[in-house]
Amino acid sequence: MARTYRYKDMQLAQLRGFCLAARERNFTVAARQLGLSASTVWEQLRALERMLGCSLLNRKGRSIELTPEGQILLDIVQPHIEAIDSLKRLFDDGRAQLSPHLVIASSQYLLRFHLPAPIREFTSKYPTVQLNIQLPTAQHLVSAVEQRTADIAICAYEPEEPRSEVLLYEPILELPLQLLTSQKHPLARKKTVELADLVEYPVILPAAGAITRRLIDRLLVRHNLAGRLQVIMEAPMFDTTQQYVEMGVGVGLMHIQVPPKTLANIHLRPIQESQVPLVIAMVVRKHGKLPKSVVDFQEIVRKSLDIADVE
């Protein structure tokens, strides 16, 4: 009795499985990524070989290798499989052009002090674009763009740390480390302030894990002050730090650059030993065509966001 084969015609699943197996050199790994069993992937590949009348892959112990015919097929098929697999992303990018909108993810501080002018100009020039502002936690600002819940993030980043391969980072601003005190605090009247002067007073620091906090912690280690400060509070948002500094609960350390008269009840002064600013960047997706609303907003930010504006 003639054997009945499950796969009689060439199918997309077979070609995708072949490309993945050829790349991974392992049926089990390929099957795991496809959500199939190794035997299913093996059966698909054997059906493909029967249709083409040649061997495409040979087993070498636990790994596999391409035959010359397999290499020919891989060179032909792989670009098409990659194009098909990117179809959803390209479709989403194209659909975004149909109903103009812009989702901006940023921090409370940046939205309050550095982004009002660019946002005001953008909404004035493009009144038909629906603007959506998001305030993720510091740890989720970049991932909001990576996961497509935001079009652009304006946020802090560390140039020396690993970055997502699918995102593009454009530095636009540097913020110095400053001391925040109430107007009547003893440190507000001191001619110069060093980090060691903070040991005598309760201190409010940014939330643990935030980039600005990591920079501060490294600075304290460098000056042998790690563990010596009386940290009375960790605040994730600038408004919280401002409120409790004004109340005299503690002095604050944070990277900030605002006009002197902006904070009426706060005395701002730079920390002399700090030479490492907090870098602010625009973060967008690297691959594919960016929506026009994102490109337009980027250009406005580049022109209007200038450190000199707040000196």
The DSSP string of 163-190 is --TTEEEEEEEEE-EEEEEETTSHHHH-
Q: How confident is the model at residue 16 (pLDDT cuts 50, 70, 90)?
A: confident
pLDDT digits (tens, 9 = 90+) for 197-207: 999 999 999 99
pLDDT digits (tens, 9 = 90+) for 39-63: 888 888 888 888 889 988 888 877 8
Q: Minimal CA–CA distance to 180: which of 272, 277, 268, 310? A: 268
What are the residue boundaries of the structural domains of the chain, listed by start? 12-85, 92-165+282-310, 177-276
Can you give the pLDDT at residue 150?
94
Class of domain 12-85: mainly alpha
Q: Which residue has the tokens 């643990």?
A: 208
CA distance 285 to 293: 14
Contact between 283 and 193 under an 8 Å Cβ cutoff? The reply is no
For residue 23, what are the contacts with CB-CB under 8 A and spacing of at least 6?
30
Threshold 0.75, pTM exceeds: no
Cβ burial of 75 (10 Å; 0-12, 13-18, 19+) is exposed
CATH architecture, domain 177-276 = 3-Layer(aba) Sandwich (3.40)
Over 90: is that where the pLDDT of 233 sits? yes
pLDDT digits (tens, 9 = 90+) for 136-161: 887 788 889 988 899 999 999 888 88
* Strand 130-134 to 230-235 pairing: unpaired
User: What is the distance, to the nearest Å, from the Cα of residue 195 to the centroid of all Cα atoms in its chain?
Assistant: 31
Mean pLDDT computed over 91-104: 73
CA distance 48 to 56: 9
CA distance 267 to 186: 11
Which residue has better confidence, 94 or 214?
A: 214
Q: How confident is the model at residue 234 (pLDDT cuts 50, 70, 90)?
A: very high
Query: Which of 36-40, 61-65, 74-78 has the weakest average pLDDT?
Result: 61-65
Domain 92-165+282-310 and domain 177-276 have a common topology: yes
pLDDT digits (tens, 9 = 90+) for 253-310: 999 998 877 888 899 988 877 778 999 999 999 877 888 899 999 999 999 875 434 3
Can you give the pLDDT at residue 96?
59
Mean pLDDT computed over 96-115: 86
DSSP, res 135? -
The topology under which CATH files domain 92-165+282-310 is: D-Maltodextrin-Binding Protein; domain 2 (3.40.190)
